[in-house]
Amino acid sequence: MPISPYVLLPRASSVQETPASEKGGGGAPAPLLGDAGLLAVPFSPDLEPEVGLPVPVAALLAHYEAEGAAGEIVEVPVAHGDAVGRVLLYGIGDGSASALRKAGAAVARRGKGRDAIRILLPEGPVAALVEGALLATYNFRIGEAKSAPVAIVEFVGDDVEAEVTRGGTIAEAVSFARDLTNTPSSIKTPAWLAERAVEHVVGTPEGGEKDGGDGVRLAAKVWDEAALLAERFGGLLAVGQGSVSPPRLVELSYRPEGATRHVVLVGKGITYDTGGLSLKPTDNMKFMKTDMAGGAVVAAVIGALASLGTRIRVTGLIAAAENSFSGTAQRPSDVITQYGGRTVEVLNTDAEGRLVLADALAYADAELEPDAVVDIATLTGAIGIALGKDLGAVFATDDGLAAELTEAAESSGEGLWRMPLIEDYVPALESSVADLANIESGTTFGATYGAGSITAALFLREFTGGRPWAHLDIAGVGRSGADEGIFSKGATGYGVRLLLEWLC
């Protein structure tokens, strides 16, 4: 499984009363390690570990100069029948969500290759710890795994069922987004992506409606190539015309009874990006199977809403296409007509994400009447240069929406930095033959104005109809280069936690 399965056990499962003469650590209860012989127990400067050990716990921590920082671990061998077990004293820092998330990930990674790890939860909100532990077990591999994560995670605590369920639901949603994004493009065509997204939400790849329980209706619809042509989704058709795998537009609907607010999420779903005739260099092309990360996030978020119980109406749009090159591919200097009638001069076919997003944004404005629109996309390499690998970018036309998303990002542990929409840069999008150009007219990326991520956002804004809108550029944060913390090498699923925190 992509993340390890988990169970919740009562706190009594972690300790057992033993005769005083056999108790370690000054008479503390001795640990029940479980079948795998691995028990993790929290501590901090304000929290003493609840575990019996062969030596006094305070002296042990002093010996290792352990301070209880988030993710700090002191490993202690203990008797486990005829074998040797391990107790992991794990630091939880200040007990904040970010500290607990880090602690959970550190502990879960210590269980790698084992049958199970038993984690004693601290008091209070622990959803972030559960989320961190499970995400650290994520594994995507086609073929036999070289080193498997822990087979099962046992969380131990009382009156924490809701917290464990929330943490598990969010981790599973992130895992689903990572799975879609990590899947090779030899499998992941636009049609395949559409089927997986629809199946995830309504249970069948054919679409239709489903009762989500608690007064919630779930629905899914897919536009194939013929429908896109009939309804004039010119951006999707232009980007996809060079590939043997035709484009798709996916609409996923979450409708709870009594909803008074409607949010539309739009995800870029480029299942592979060669750059088209404006061909990418080989090194830049290696990871382009992840160029649909935004679409994966949208599908994962819609699929998790019912479990988390939000009462906001949410519609997800995934604009899916493969940007390839062939005799039928669009050419630099082509003029296309986007959904709704705006014309665009395509000066660089590698600026394709904004073309498919523009169709979806224009459709949302014209047909869905949302109160707010948020798009998410691996849109520009420029944003990775500006903000690096730890911060996503948010561009927004509404200060309140920007503040809500930034606050949700901080709570969820996904860094986000607001970037400006600079009006002086709007002339960069002027075209002599169309309403707009898809990059700076007559130049390569950023030659005069620079700020490629800003001009890309300004382009998208043209299709939002003046509604409250935010654009999340996740090109720098959508992929991890290493197994570390909650991340595994490959897709990060960035945006799932942020958007679920915002909506739920």
| Catalytic residue positions, numbered | 280, 354
CA-to-CA distance for 444 and 499, rounded, in angstroms? 34
CA-to-CA distance for 498 and 152, rounded, in angstroms? 26
Judge contact between 349 and 275, C-beta under 8 A. yes
Q: Are strands 208-213 and 216-223 parallel, antiparallel or unpaired?
A: antiparallel
Sign of the four-CA dihedral 461, 464, 469, 473: negative
Q: Provide the 3-class DSSP secondary structure of residue 468.
A: coil
The alpha-carbon radius of gyration of the chain (Å, integer) is 25
Encoded tokens for 129: 């710890």
Residue 232's CB: how many other CB atoms inside 10 A? 14
Encoded tokens for 119: 């984690």
Dmax (CA) of the chain: 89
Cα distance between the two ends of the chain: 26
CA-to-CA distance for 17 and 93, rounded, in angstroms? 29
What are the E-state strand segments in 324-464? 334-337, 343-346, 372-377, 392-396, 416-418, 436-437
Residue 424's CB: how many other CB atoms inside 10 A? 7
